[in-house]
Amino acid sequence: MRFVQLASGNEVPALGLGTWRMGEAKRSRTAEVGAVRTALEIGYRLIDTAEMYGNGGAEEVVGAAIQEAFQAGIAARADLTIVSKILPSNASHAGVMRACERSLKRLQLDAIDLYLLHWRGSTPLQETVAAFEQLRSESRIRHWGVSNFDTSDMQQLSSLSAGVNCVANQVYYSASERGAEFDLVPWQREHGVVTMAYSPIDQGALASDTTFATIGRRHRISAASAALAWVLQQPGMIAIPMSGSAPHLRENFAAANVDLTAEDLAQVDAQFPPPKRKRPLATT
């Protein structure tokens, strides 16, 4: 497994598990808890979720799976990085405090390792950041960050006195969606903000891509795994693919141990050229 260092000095796994679309239906609950537990058995140690997913249901799935994993001795709390996100509609000072407590209860945890503002809303950033800082001082969260922030948003955030404590920005990034590479990713690298790539296999689309199938054959991995390996090849980047399928979870996990060659990278650039100009940050 590769690790990525946060500005705090803490190291977190470069490959994690996404949970969007989990927790939406009660009838799928057992299978979803099983999938997250399987991921933990395989070795995943970072899990991304959000209060929005399944209206809290995904956090409940994660909470149930990690409790099972603790009881079975599969994983220890200290080895896990649990990431959750707060909706912008809850981003007032009091709203953050209440939302965090609800998330902690659903996750059955005392602290969230990384708490992100899901996207920017109408609450002044200063107010949300002050609330995040209070949660950090009360050890309810260990780190905080943002999601779907473009370069100008990051610049505004960094102009706040506590803005330097933002450790990550989670954005849409995959070989077929490279817009963030133009100025956002370089800005973040320069300012010690880790980029977390969401939809890193483009919501499954890259699993049937012929370029990645060719690259995958050279490394004896699947196309999806090759697409993930490409994201993980970017220095200091975290990728959080979602899967509810054990074979896919295994394939995806294998990506963290693959080094792509210069030939592979050139092939990706030919098929998915890097951006030549600034475009607004893409969202799913």
Ligand X SMILES: NC(=O)c1ccc[n+]([C@@H]2O[C@H](COP(=O)([O-])OP(=O)(O)OC[C@H]3O[C@@H](n4cnc5c(N)ncnc54)[C@H](OP(=O)(O)O)[C@@H]3O)[C@@H](O)[C@H]2O)c1
- State the catalytic residues: 53
**Interface of this chain with ligand X, residues 90 to 149, rule: CB under 6 A:** 118, 147-148
On the CB side of 36, how many CA atoms lie within 13 Å of its CA? Answer: 32
> At closest approach, how far in Å is the CB of 99 from ligand X?
16
**Interface of this chain with ligand X, residues 33 to 72, rule: CB under 6 A:** 48
> At closest approach, how far in Å is the CB of 43 from ligand X?
16
Contacts 24+ apart (CB under 8 A), 231-236: 231/173, 231/174, 231/175, 231/197, 231/200, 232/2, 232/14, 232/15, 232/256, 232/258, 233/259, 233/260, 233/265, 234/185, 234/195, 234/197, 235/189, 236/4, 236/5, 236/189, 236/194, 236/195
Beta bridge partners of 144: 115, 166
> At closest approach, how far in Å is the CB of 58 from ligand X?
8
> At closest approach, how far in Å is the CB of 222 from ligand X?
6
Tell me which stretch binds ligand X (CB under 6 A): 2-10, 92-100, 197-205, 257-265: 197-205
Q: Which is nearer to ligand X, 54 or 266 (CB)?
A: 54
Q: Which is nearer to ligand X, 186 or 204 (CB)?
A: 204
150 belongs to the binding site for ligand X (CB under 6 A): no
The answer to whether 84 and 117 have CB atoms below 8 angstroms apart is: no
**Interface of this chain with ligand X, residues 239 to 258, rule: CB under 6 A:** 240-245, 248, 251-252
